[in-house]
Structure 1
Amino acid sequence: MTLLLLLGAILSEVIGTTATRFSEGFTRLVPSAIAVTGVVGAYYLLSLVLKNGMSIGVAYGIWAAMGVSLVALIGAVFLGDGLTWVQAVGLALVISGVLALELGAAH
């Protein structure tokens, strides 16, 4: 259940962040509402993850790293942002760091 809540928090944050791109500085109502709802929902779900006992370092590390990675990939694949090889290596390092954090916490 905790992992599903964490996945929900990640997806909510990604939706909110992506909607921010389309809000044009929060001047467009629908994307702005989606952005605010997504971010608030992400923090609410993250709070439930923490309430269920996951450590804050692991939960936040996974949430942040997966969010950054997914948003970067969405930007590159769907929004024309591009992704250099240096950025791709950086994303791989972020994900590797979170895996190390999770594996270290498991033992």
Structure 2
Amino acid sequence: MSTVRLIGHEESFEVRYADERPSVYFYFDDENPLRRQLQGLYTKDKALEAARAFARQERKGCPSPELLCAWKVVESWKQAHNLNFLSPRMAQDLAQKIEQALLTLRP
């Protein structure tokens, strides 16, 4: 079982791990619907719901090695391309696609 904490911030909810893994952020914007749509943000309620679901999933057990690898690929890609603000939804979708590709390569 993985130890995680859910922390509320002014513009996001953070799922923080007890170990060395980087936190996962769920950003929201309730003030500007156009900005929310363009940047792939959640409403505050949806961000909280997504963060809780993610934390609950993480508490159930460690993610697969493929998913951990996928998150590392996404994080290094963000840094290499100077994309400090890639929406959590986009990062999660990208990591899941990489995970599925890695799983298909498994013998």
TM-score (norm 1): 0.31
More helix by share: 1
More strand by share: 2
